[in-house]
């Protein structure tokens, strides 16, 4: 059996009242646009209405944490999905942007107590990016949306079980 043990649950349905924000980077637009399409399709297939999904665009991956923070702090969303693609070039810029963005998104989630889902591709070349944006390696935007749904469900379970308090 060649099941991907790291894959999100495929059969999960979103809570009917859940609200999601998606922030996507227009740098590497062809790749990230496919991630966005995958995320939006996934949410729709799982019962999330279009009006329950707020989409905002930022210039590049570096700006994802700032926008995610603004969205999470608004308390209007149950989860934020951050989508982008950083493709390695000939300078250390890739390393700085990838690491800074990853750390920033993680910090936003911990500081705001809102799930912020890491949908940032970090690849060696454009071909690898397209493979992960609907190609042979699936669509990581779709996977990120599934993860967002799972985290909303987890948040609500923890609150219902008295382990955490639900955000205002």
- Strand-pair partners of 40: none
Selecting among 29, 93, 157, 167, the annotated active-site residue is 93
Per-residue b/e over 82-91, b at no fewer than 16 CB within 10 Å? bbbbbbbeee
Helix, strand, coil content of the chain in percent (nearest 5)? 50, 20, 30
**Helix (H) or strand (E) run with residue 89 in it:** none
Provide φ and ψ at 118, rounded to 5°. -85, 100
Structure tokens at 99: 């690491």
DSSP class of residue 27 equals T
CA 105 to centroid of chain Cα atoms: 10
With contact defined as beta carbons under 8 Å apart, do 150 and 156 qualify? Answer: no
Q: Is 93 a catalytic residue?
A: yes
Integer Cα distance of 163 and 157 in angstroms = 9
Question: Catalytic amino acids?
Answer: 93
């Amino acid at each position: 059996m060649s099941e991907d043990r790291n894959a999100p649950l495929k059969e999960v349905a979103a809570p009917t009242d859940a609200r999601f924000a998606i922030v996507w980077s227009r740098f590497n637009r062809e790749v990230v646009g496919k991630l966005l399409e995958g995320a939006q399709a996934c949410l729709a297939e799982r019962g999330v209405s279009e009006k329950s999904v707020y989409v905002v665009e930022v210039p590049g991956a570096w700006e994802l944490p700032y926008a995610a923070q603004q969205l999470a702090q608004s308390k209007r969303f149950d989860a934020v999905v951050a989508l982008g693609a950083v493709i390695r070039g000939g300078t250390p810029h890739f390393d700085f942007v990838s690491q800074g963005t990853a750390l920033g998104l993680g910090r936003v989630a911990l500081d705001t107590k809102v799930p912020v889902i890491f949908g940032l591709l970090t690849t060696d070349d454009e071909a690898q990016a397209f493979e992960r944006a609907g190609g042979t390696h699936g669509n990581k935007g779709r996977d990120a949306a599934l993860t967002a749904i799972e985290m909303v469900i987890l948040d609500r379970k923890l609150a219902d079980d008295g382990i955490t308090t639900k955000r205002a």
